[in-house]
Structure 1
Amino acid sequence: MSKSSLIPIAFLVIAVIAFSPSKLFGQGGPALVEITPIVSREVASGQTFVGTVTPPRRALVGSAVDGRVIEVFFEEGDRVEKDQPLAQLLTATISLELAAAKAELDYRREQLREMENGSLPEEINQARARLSRAKVMAEFGQRELERLAVLRQKNATSQSEFDSARSIAESTQEEFDEAKAALQLAIDGPRPEKIAQAKAQVAMQEAVVNKLKDQIKKYTIYTRFTGYITVKHTDIGAWATQGGAVAEVIALDEVDVVAKVVDSQVAYINVGDSVRVEVPALPDQALTGRVEAIVPQADVRSRTFPVKIRVKNTIKKSGDPLLKAGMLTRVMLATGGRTQAVLVPKDALVLGGAQPVVWVIDPASITRGDQSQQAKASPVPVRLGVADGSLIQVTGAIDPSHLVVVKGNERIIPNRNGEPSLVNLVPNTATPSTSEVSQKGDGNVVD
């Protein structure tokens, strides 16, 4: 055989190896899984109701003041955080008023500080010097008056000259008394009443400044909780009126699924009950919630009561919520007496297909080696029932004495011939009996 004829055969061998069934199904070895017993116990019988995803909080954010919109920081669909600015109004005029009010406040504070500090030593020395000069002038005026009084008795001077000397003496004495009082005032400092008045003026001006600051804050419009913008009511250049709408915000970190239950069945539902929630638009999601409220007011036409089921939402890395307001849901609510049921952890469910599937293991198929344990897992289609804590009721061809895979089930590759698939068990996997798990409830369930 020539070399040229060998080349196609070599390529054929490589192709067969590359595209063998084991490669196509990614079977690099049995999947590593974790198992737990299936639970069998009594649960309340349930019924499916249609529900709608609604936001637990919804706000129409408005403007507290009139003003021109100069900036908008959001678009419809954006996620916004608590106290995040949404829009900014023009504040040029009020900013000037605030600057003037702050300057006036600084002036009044300095006045108060001057009063509280009292007189400077230089001011006291100046007052003493004025007192000394006034004393000299007063003593000179008194001596001059006494001299002219003697001369007047001897008719050696005129009456007008004597009267002028007396006037000067009285004036200089008054100036001396005034200088003496001024020195004492400089030593004592401002009166307590004056300081109290200055403090009141500072407080009044502080109130004016705070009022203007608060007004400026109102020119920035904020959201008061974390959520998503659903409606945009304004844009740059628009005139915002006091009380006018700027944006509509809804909270979706948690959502309420509202289902309407007839009056004959609502009595079986209790606040705090665990509820399984199905969203047709999200078939690969296993969701559970709890009854948050039962509105005690029925629709008089349909005789149904709104039941709110609170569900924790998943926020994607992009910020987009998994559950969106208005989505259609189906909820399984307890509406009757208790019945024996088979339950598995929600992690045991493999969703996304035409019907939910769980992988079950017969304990008799477990083989133990020195370093590992292996078992055979079989896929079982199931129908879902009521939720009970972290467990979900399932109906199907399941033996309660078997075990169920709760981790690694998405990596198990089904065999083409329908035979069970070989899996490796997580080392030291605990496999208590079904009766022990049933007595302990979901305490042994891996969640």
Structure 2
Amino acid sequence: MRLATSFVASVCVCALSSGQLMAQRGPAAVAVAEIIKRETASGQMFVGTVLPIKRSVIGSAVGGRVAEFPVNEGDFVRAKQPLAQLLTNTINLELDAEKAELALRKHELAELENGSRPDEIKRAKALMQAAKADSEYQQKRRKRLESLYARKAVNEDDIQQVVSESIRSEELYQEALAAYALTVEGPRKEKIAQAKSQVAIQQAIVDKLESQIVKHTIKSPFDGYVVAEHTEVGQWVNSGELVAEVIALDEVDVEVQVLENHVPHVKLGMEVRVEVPAIPDQVFTGTVALIVPQADVRARTFPVKVRIKNTITKDGPLLKSGMLARAVLPTGPKQNALLVSKDALVLGGPTPMIYVVDPSPDKKNQGKARAVPVQVGVANGRLIQVKGNLKPGEHVVIRGNERLRPGQDVAITEILSPDALPKAKAINIDG
């Protein structure tokens, strides 16, 4: 109460010093919405911690010496971006040799699959025809000498020599004939199958080496921030040894511990208001993502995680892992409460406040802006519970309030529904 009084006193001093200037500029154009009264579950604030939705402690799949470690703690990394590179000189040489062997095996297979070339068939045919011609000549010569031998014109040695040559020429012809047939038919199917198996074996060896080389590059599994380094250039890491730790912060979870008599009132998907003391000028809205059904048996509390979409700027994430947070969760039966649009909240001061428009008695759609400090309760869609010097039906400024001063003249240009979607506001209250 003392804080609210001092706050009102300070804003009144500001109003007196700037009142004359505001009067010269004319009333400020604003859009307003009514304060409504509705049954809302009573809420309670729970202290929690901001946690990343994904955390990966990344180790090395193989042993090796660290050749490159291009990241530092706090760096943002993309998915599959290298975190560390191990030496691969020896394995690269092995891979080159096995790739050459694979190329040789593939060429051998291609040679078998392509079959005999036309020139090879032509050559085999020519050899076969030459052997046939020689065999026919030797057969005719044998018959002639056999007739001479019958007349005792040649001796036995001559006839034996001719018979032997005719037999040899016939065998050579049969050999050439078979060679020609094999050349025309091409390689056996079994030979081609053996060559294919050799190619498959060699391909498996190459794939294994390539897989080992890939494992020598340790990569980030997702977009995130490096929060821990576990190695350095020149250090030897064994298989399974830690290299770095990465967390994802595009969304965060606020984990709070809820007492067992309150957890039945918490439902998955319900909206929750979250405050982060380190960021006092913003109120974040999240949804209950997880209710862990395992209590701490000593405290009888259940972990509840509220998921919030984070804001990423050039300076990094707005919500950081480990920050203190406070979440307002419904913990009891419904009760009548005053609700206003979330856009009515003006943050950044000692306490949240809203501007109520006190209507002018003689000017329609005009009035003065009155600053009212409020206590904020549970969220209800686009509405939020407030406690303060307020009455149902009063109009509060939801657009144009970021430039208002207490006591300033305002002109109401639009009356919106309390749960109207945001159009333009200076303060991001959705996180």
TM-score > 0.5, shorter chain as reference: yes
Cα distance, 1:49 vs structure 2: 1.0
Deviation string, structure 1 residues 149-191 (Cα, Å, up to 9, x no partner): 3344444444444333333222222221222222222222223
The 2-side partners of 1:359 and 1:253 are apart by: 33
Match of 2:401?
A: 409
Provide the aligned length of Structure 1 versus Structure 2: 407
Q: Would the aligned equivalents of 1:76 and 1:232 in 2 still touch at CA under 8 Å?
A: yes
Match of 2:47?
A: 50
The 2-side partners of 1:425 and 1:209 are apart by: 75
Alignment-mate amino acid for residue 368 of structure 2: K
Match of 2:410?
A: 423
Q: How does 1:297-376 map to 2 (within 5 A)?
A: 297-318=294-315, 320-362=316-358, 374-376=366-368
Q: How does 1:183-222 map to 2 (within 5 A)?
A: 183-222=180-219
Q: Would the aligned equivalents of 1:66 and 1:239 in 2 still touch at CA under 8 Å?
A: yes
Q: Would the aligned equivalents of 2:31 and 2:415 in 1 still touch at CA under 8 Å?
A: no
Alignment-mate amino acid for residue 301 of structure 1: R
Q: Would the aligned equivalents of 1:366 and 1:375 in 2 still touch at CA under 8 Å?
A: no
Match of 1:249?
A: 246
Cα distance, 1:144 vs structure 2: 2.9
Q: 1:64 aligns with which of 61, 69, 77?
A: 61
Match of 1:95?
A: 92
Cα distance, 1:312 vs structure 2: 1.3
Q: Would the aligned equivalents of 1:253 and 1:313 in 2 still touch at CA under 8 Å?
A: yes
The 2-side partners of 1:229 and 1:21 are apart by: 49
Q: How does 1:139-288 map to 2 (within 5 A)?
A: 139-288=136-285
Match of 1:389?
A: 381
Alignment-mate amino acid for residue 56 of structure 2: A
Closer, same or farther in 2 for the Cα pair 1:291/1:153, shift >3 Å? same
Deviation string, structure 1 residues 378-416 (Cα, Å, up to 9, x no partner): 2211001011123211111122212222232111133xx
Closer, same or farther in 2 for the Cα pair 1:366/1:151, shift >3 Å? farther
Q: Any gaps of 5 or more consecutive residues in structure 1?
A: 1-19, 415-419
Alignment-mate amino acid for residue 323 of structure 2: M
Match of 1:292?
A: 289
Cα distance, 1:228 vs structure 2: 1.3
Q: Secondary structure at the match of 1:400?
A: coil
Alignment-mate amino acid for residue 327 of structure 2: V
Alignment-mate amino acid for residue 163 of structure 2: R
Deviates more, 1:336-345 or 1:142-151: 142-151
Q: Secondary structure at the match of 1:65?
A: coil
Deviation string, structure 1 residues 28-84 (Cα, Å, up to 9, x no partner): 554443333333211110111111111222211011111111111210111111111
Match of 1:5?
A: none
Q: Secondary structure at the match of 1:57?
A: strand
TM-score of the pair, normalised by structure 1: 0.84
Alignment-mate amino acid for residue 241 of structure 1: N
Closer, same or farther in 2 for the Cα pair 1:188/1:148, shift >3 Å? same
Q: How does 1:68-87 map to 2 (within 5 A)?
A: 68-87=65-84
Closer, same or farther in 2 for the Cα pair 1:128/1:363, shift >3 Å? farther
Q: 1:128 aligns with which of 125, 144, 152?
A: 125
The 1-side partners of 2:190 and 2:394 are apart by: 90
Q: Would the aligned equivalents of 2:276 and 2:324 in 1 still touch at CA under 8 Å?
A: yes
The 2-side partners of 1:270 and 1:366 are apart by: 49
Cα distance, 1:26 vs structure 2: 12
The 2-side partners of 1:155 and 1:430 are apart by: 142
Closer, same or farther in 2 for the Cα pair 1:380/1:22, shift >3 Å? closer
Cα distance, 1:102 vs structure 2: 1.7
Closer, same or farther in 2 for the Cα pair 1:38/1:190, shift >3 Å? farther
The 1-side partners of 2:281 and 2:362 are apart by: 30
Q: 2:104 aligns with which of 107, 112, 128?
A: 107
Q: Secondary structure at the match of 2:56?
A: strand
What RMSD, in angstroms, separates the aligned Cα atoms of the two structures?
A: 2.5
The 1-side partners of 2:372 and 2:172 are apart by: 115
Q: Would the aligned equivalents of 1:363 and 1:402 in 2 still touch at CA under 8 Å?
A: no
The 1-side partners of 2:102 and 2:23 are apart by: 77
Q: Secondary structure at the match of 1:165?
A: helix
Deviation string, structure 1 residues 196-216 (Cα, Å, up to 9, x no partner): 332332222222222211111
1:137 corresponds to 2:113: no
Cα distance, 1:250 vs structure 2: 1.5
1:399 corresponds to 2:416: no
Q: Would the aligned equivalents of 1:118 and 1:190 in 2 still touch at CA under 8 Å?
A: yes
Match of 2:422?
A: 446
Closer, same or farther in 2 for the Cα pair 1:155/1:34, shift >3 Å? farther
The 2-side partners of 1:310 and 1:182 are apart by: 80
Alignment-mate amino acid for residue 252 of structure 1: L
Q: Secondary structure at the match of 1:40?
A: strand
The 2-side partners of 1:352 and 1:388 are apart by: 22
The 2-side partners of 1:97 and 1:375 are apart by: 84
Identity level (%): 51
Closer, same or farther in 2 for the Cα pair 1:248/1:25, shift >3 Å? farther
The 2-side partners of 1:84 and 1:283 are apart by: 35
The 2-side partners of 1:308 and 1:292 are apart by: 6
Deviation string, structure 1 residues 73-98 (Cα, Å, up to 9, x no partner): 21011111111110111111111121
The 2-side partners of 1:144 and 1:445 are apart by: 115
Q: Any gaps of 5 or more consecutive residues in structure 2?
A: 1-16, 424-431
Match of 2:11?
A: none
Q: Would the aligned equivalents of 1:345 and 1:446 in 2 still touch at CA under 8 Å?
A: no
Deviates more, 1:387-396 or 1:198-207: 198-207
